Amino acid sequence: MSGSLFDRWRAAPDEPQAPPAVGLQLWLDDQARVQRLAGPLRTLLALPTQAAARVQDYLEPHSLLVLEGEPGDWQGQPLDLAFRTVVGHALQTRGWLQRHGQGWVLQLFDIGDLLREQRWDRQRPLFGEIGHALRECGAERLAQTTGEQLQVLAGHWQASALCLMLRAADGWRRYASSDPLWPWPDDARLQGWLAHRPAATPVQIHNEPELLALCGCASLLLVPYRQGQDAEAWLLGADVLQPPPDDMALALARTLAEPLLARLRHQQLQQQSRQLDHLQQQLGAGGWEWPLDGNLQLDPVVAGSFGLPRQMNLAQWLAQLHPADREPAQLALAQAREGHALGLGVRLAEGGQRWLHWAGQRQGNCLRGFVLDISALKQQQQQADAAQARLENLIASSPAVIYVQRYVDGALHSDFYSASLGPLLGWGADSEQARQPALAVHPDDRPLWLERTRALLRDGQVRCRYRLRDARGGYHWMLDEARLLRDDLGQPREVVGLWLDVSEATDAAERVRQSEERYRVLVEDSPAMICRYRPDLTLQYANRPLADYLQRTPEQLQGENLGQWLSDSQRQAFEQRLAALTPEQPVSSAEICLQLPGRENAWWVWADRGVFDGDGQLLEVQAVGRDNTEVRRSQQQLLQGAKMATLGELATGLVHEINQPLNVMRMAVANALTRLEQGTAEPEWLEAKLRRIEAQVARAERLVQHMRVYGRRSLVETQSFAAWGAVEGARALLEEGLRGKGVSLCLEPPGEHSQVLGHQDQLEQVLINLLVNARDALLEQGRAQPWIRVRQELDGGRLSLLVEDNGGGIAEGLHERIFEPFFTTKPAGVGTGLGLSVSHGIVSHMGGRLTVANGEEGACFRVELPLHSTS
């Protein structure tokens, strides 16, 4: 019957007639505009807002079939269409289009159950694979296996990426994802989105731009896994092109999360058990039980830790205790058998230095409790008693007096002084000065004493300094620190304070002031450039040499910003160096480059020392500078000289490299002139010759331009560049010469061109030196098939360029010496011995290392540099 029904739908009627009733009917005009809807499914459709809507406006954006053209183009084809509905999920239909009068009728029926069953059939093997993989994998590969299963699931759903979020104590955290490089937001920023999502059904998100931009995708599918009312996991899918039905998505999330959470809980319980055992061992604690008619039984861990038998009778237990503790232990045990709580501290017999605390309670016919090693507490108690005795003795002989004053009727009366009062001031505890210390205050300091009392009663604490007269008539500077204690009603009760003799400190402060004055004179007369500035580089002080160098006066430099003489990159590096200063490491040094108006760049060796407050905040920086411009220029001249010497050594190969394109151009011109004279030159042939000449001119131009760039002086400022670009530059200058000498140059280009910071021409100079040295070693050895290989490696934040050859290697005793200036293994008159030394200095200045090692066939030089991020 279904075949006959489909045949009737596909057959074009001879005359207009009402089509049979199906699930959904749409009458269309020739422009596919919907004229009328019919059928029981029409109530589910979400109607478009615009007038004269076409049938495409009723469909989901990701419909199974994309309708293009006019209705006449669709006739005779089975149409699988997904309609938008008012209930949220799409209505999946299948049908055909046929002519009806002056228009068309589209007849459709619901195939959602059929598609859902097909999806279930395709997905059922996936359920078993996911559950088996998560249950059988090792604990150390659980996260990796979860990511692999997410990759498989992402392929089935045609998703850009899938991510599994698990509930943690502090919120949601990402456990695994199908693509580790996918830019999911951090857990904290995703907390609010997941916390307010209902955990009953999957959610498709298309209209929340902030969340979609946060996840870097156009749509987001959220599938919950819950136990009870709360979600325990969320499966997040980015740009899912084939989303499964809600029930299938929930089943897949359960298949993925349920065994995973079970494994994680099991691991957590095992870890807690191990931690408990470890904690018990660390604390020296454990349980015990003692039946009234049996023997004491100890926890095995405790017994092993204390060196006791696991089972003991009463006599054996008492024999393990110190003789002085056996009688109290026997009495306490007898009381515990009668129902009293047991709390007993005893020493073990061996040495008498190990203390155990036994605690327990009778439970039925058995005593149960725990035993704890309290040796450390006992030792601390003994040390505390000894420390207290030493403290009391120290206070009695120290230059400090502890005092107590009682508050009575608005006045303070002396009530107690420590024993150090006599040795310090010579006062007796019952003397007039002790009863009324105000009488011994220096006349000039009596206002301070009165203000001290008022502030103490007003604020509850005070810290001040004044002079007190001793019994011999001399005065002592006393630092007074006092605190007011109040009763439970907030009324003043007494004052507890400390007098500290700071006479020597006050004298020392005066000497420091005089020393600072002498220091200031030394700073002004110093030939070094000395200054102080705030963290924002604002100068607070500058001595005369620094002011003269910057063509200012010291007064004019105050308030000036030191960064105005630095380039943007130099200032950024300067500020980063200051930000790295800490109270533990307050000193740093660097070479800085200044841009002085009307003069060339100046180079200073600059040393900073940070000054911090009590909270570790940087207050100011003290700096000393030395002009290093002449040394820097000498280094640049040395590098430039070595570079030009390299160009001179490569001149023969470079001339041959330039001569080759000239020969090709000469032959092309000669052939063109011959054909022109014979009249057989065709335009296409001439165009090909001219193209060839143009290519050779460009080749020669690139070589000459590279030689000009390489021969220039290096820029003052370092720049970010691709390290492999220096390798390509070295090949342009050396490849032809190496080929002419029979040496094969093999380059292994990297997949990505990583960036480093420095000067590309200087790194190129390093590589040229290494390649030339390898060439000379190969020619000296007379290898049959000499080769040099250059490749790049990445290791974390470091990049390495490796230059290898098959020249037999370098003697082990020369590995350290070959980087010394003027050291060479070549014959006299051949080589200067500066190539590797200059190269070592260039790489070190770039923050890297140049090392050498012997490989299987020859030497391998490694140029290791830190990677530089341009973001």
Q: What is the pLDDT of residue 741?
A: 82
CA gap 723, 701 in Å, rounded: 23
With a cut of 60, say whether residue 249 has pLDDT above it.
Answer: yes
- Name the 3-class secondary structure at 156: helix
With a cut of 80, say whether residue 532 has pLDDT above it.
Answer: yes
Q: Name the more confident of 346 and 629.
A: 346
**Could you say which DSSP state residue 800 is in?**
E
Classify 2-110 by CATH class: alpha beta
What residue spans of 46-202 are helical by DSSP H?
112-136, 142-157, 187-195
Q: What is the pLDDT of residue 659?
A: 59
Backbone angles phi, psi at 815, to 5 degrees: -60, -35
pLDDT tens-place string over residues 81-100: 888 888 767 888 888 888 88
CA gap 533, 553 in Å, rounded: 16
pLDDT tens-place string over residues 231-248: 888 888 888 887 777 777
pLDDT tens-place string over residues 791-833: 999 988 899 999 999 888 887 767 677 776 655 656 544 455 5
CA gap 779, 783 in Å, rounded: 7
> Average model confidence (pLDDT) for the chain?
79
Q: How confident is the model at residue 409 (pLDDT cuts 50, 70, 90)?
A: confident
Q: Name the more confident of 352 and 781.
A: 781
DSSP code per residue over 512-560: HHHHHHHHHHHHHH-SSEEEEE-TT-BEEEE-HHHHHHTTS-HHHHTT-
Q: What is the pLDDT of residue 217?
A: 83
* For range 623-644, the mean pLDDT: 68
Quick one: what percent of the chain has pLDDT higher than 90? Answer: 10
What is the SS3 assignment for 227-295?
Answer: ECCEEEEEEEEECCCCCCCHHHHHHHHHHHHHHHHHHHHHHHHHHHHHHHHHHHHHHCEEEEEEECCCC
Residue 397 in tokens: 């002989």
Closest listed residue to residue 805, CA positions, set 751, 852, 753, 844: 852
Closest listed residue to residue 868, CA positions, set 443, 573, 494, 549: 573
Q: What is the pLDDT of residue 257?
A: 83
With a cut of 80, say whether residue 319 has pLDDT above it.
Answer: yes
With a cut of 50, say whether residue 2 has pLDDT above it.
Answer: no
Q: Does domain 284-380 have CATH number 3.30.450.20?
A: yes
Q: How confident is the model at residue 440 (pLDDT cuts 50, 70, 90)?
A: very high
Residue 141 in tokens: 């590969």
Q: Residues 526-627: name the CATH superfamily.
A: PAS domain (3.30.450.20)
Q: Residues 126-274: name the CATH superfamily.
A: GAF domain (3.30.450.40)
Residue 145 gets the label, from left (phi > 0), alpha (psi -120 to 50) or beta, of alpha
* Topology of the domain covering 718-871: Heat Shock Protein 90 (3.30.565)
Query: Are 125 and 156 contacting, i.e. CB atoms less than 8 angstroms apart?
Result: no
Q: What is the pLDDT of residue 232?
A: 84
Q: What is the pLDDT of residue 650?
A: 56
| Domain spans of the chain, in order of start | 2-110, 126-274, 284-380, 398-507, 526-627, 718-871
Angle at 221 between CA 218 and CA 223, to 5 degrees: 165
Of 44-58, 643-657, 735-749, where does mean pLDDT reach its minimum? 643-657
Quick one: what percent of the chain has pLDDT higher than 70? Answer: 80
Closest listed residue to residue 707, CA positions, set 741, 750, 736, 668: 736
Of 60-74, 136-150, 449-463, 836-850, where does mean pLDDT reach its minimum? 60-74
What residue spans of 681-722 are helical by DSSP H?
683-711
* For range 485-501, the mean pLDDT: 89
pTM: 0.33
CA gap 101, 734 in Å, rounded: 82
Q: Name the more confident of 393 and 476.
A: 476
With a cut of 60, say whether residue 111 has pLDDT above it.
Answer: yes
pLDDT tens-place string over residues 683-710: 877 777 777 676 666 656 656 655 555 5
**β-bridge partners, 496:** 404, 483
Q: At what angle do helices 723-740 and 683-711 cross, to 10 degrees?
A: 110
Q: What is the pLDDT of residue 235?
A: 87
Burial class (CB in 10 A: 0-12, 13-18, 19+), 579: exposed
With a cut of 90, say whether residue 869 has pLDDT above it.
Answer: no
Q: How confident is the model at residue 643 (pLDDT cuts 50, 70, 90)?
A: low
Fold agreement (526-627, 718-871): no
Backbone angles phi, psi at 845, to 5 degrees: -65, -25
Which range scores top for mean pLDDT: 59-73, 255-269, 509-523, 611-625?
Answer: 611-625
With a cut of 80, say whether residue 106 has pLDDT above it.
Answer: yes
CA gap 608, 622 in Å, rounded: 6
Q: Name the more confident of 182 and 478.
A: 478
Closest listed residue to residue 733, CA positions, set 626, 608, 828, 649: 649
Q: What is the pLDDT of residue 11?
A: 42
Classify 398-507 by CATH class: alpha beta
* For range 265-273, the mean pLDDT: 81
Find the helix or strand (DSSP H, E) in which 492 lies: strand 492-501
**Could you say which DSSP state residue 763 is in?**
H
Give the C-alpha distances (Å, rounded to integers) separating 697 from 180, 659, 661, 692, 703: 48, 11, 7, 9, 10
Q: How confident is the model at residue 463 (pLDDT cuts 50, 70, 90)?
A: very high
